Amino acid sequence: MELIQIGKVLKTHGFKGQLKIFIDEFYMDDFEDMKAIFINGLPYFITGKDINSHENAIISLEEMDTREKAQRLAGKPIFAKEDDLSEILEEDPYGELVGYRMHDKHFGDIGIIDNIMEMPQQFLASVIREDGKEVLIPLNDVFITAIHPAEKRVETELPEGLLEIF
C-alpha cells in the first residue's frame, strides 16, 4: 500500500479533539469522499468533516475526543492511500506526433520529431534534422497548419528566423 501526502494538520480546533487541516487543492475532491487518512503511518477514520475553503477543513477523527489527544497530531503531514486518489491523466495533446516528419511551408523538410517536451508555457518538439542536429520547435495552433496521420507528417508555418537560431 503506497501512501501519498495530501496535506497537513494545522492545529487543534475547539475542545473536542477536532483538527483544522490543510489539504492540497489538487486532492480536495478526493478528500471529500475519503473515510480514512493516515498520520504518522497510522490510519485515522474520519467521523466528521466541515470543508470551509478550497484547501482547509475541520475534521473529527474516531477516538480523537480531547484537545490533548488532537494536539499530538498538530503539524504532522496527512497521507492517503494511493487507491483513494483519482488518477489524473496527464494531457499531452502532441504525444502522438513522435516519429512524424515535420515540413514547413517556407523552409521545406525540417526533420523527424524525436520527442515532445512539456515546458511551463508550451510544448516543444525535438526535431532531428538530416544533418543529425536537434532543433526545438514550439508546438501550438498558430505554427501547426495541418497534421496528416496517414502520412505521419506535420505541416507548419514557422516564423522567419526561427530555424536560423539553431
Classify 95-165 by CATH class.
mainly beta
Pairwise CA distance, residues 83 & 76, whole Å = 21
Model pTM score: 0.54
Do 3-84 and 95-165 fold alike per CATH?
A: no
> What is the per-residue pLDDT for 161?
80
Q: At 132, give phi and psi (nearest 5°).
A: 90, -5
Decide: 93 and 50 in contact? Cβ < 8 Å.
no
What lies within 8 Å, CB to CB, of 69 at 6+ separation is 17, 63
* Domain ranges within the chain, ordered by starting residue: 3-84, 95-165
The CATH superfamily label for domain 3-84 reads RimM (2.40.30.60)
Pairwise CA distance, residues 6 & 27, whole Å = 6
Does pLDDT of 23 surpass 80? yes
Model confidence at 89, pLDDT cuts 50, 70, 90, reads: very low
Using a pLDDT cut of 70, give the percent of the chain over it.
95
Task: Give me the count of residues in the chain.
Answer: 166
Pairwise CA distance, residues 67 & 60, whole Å = 11
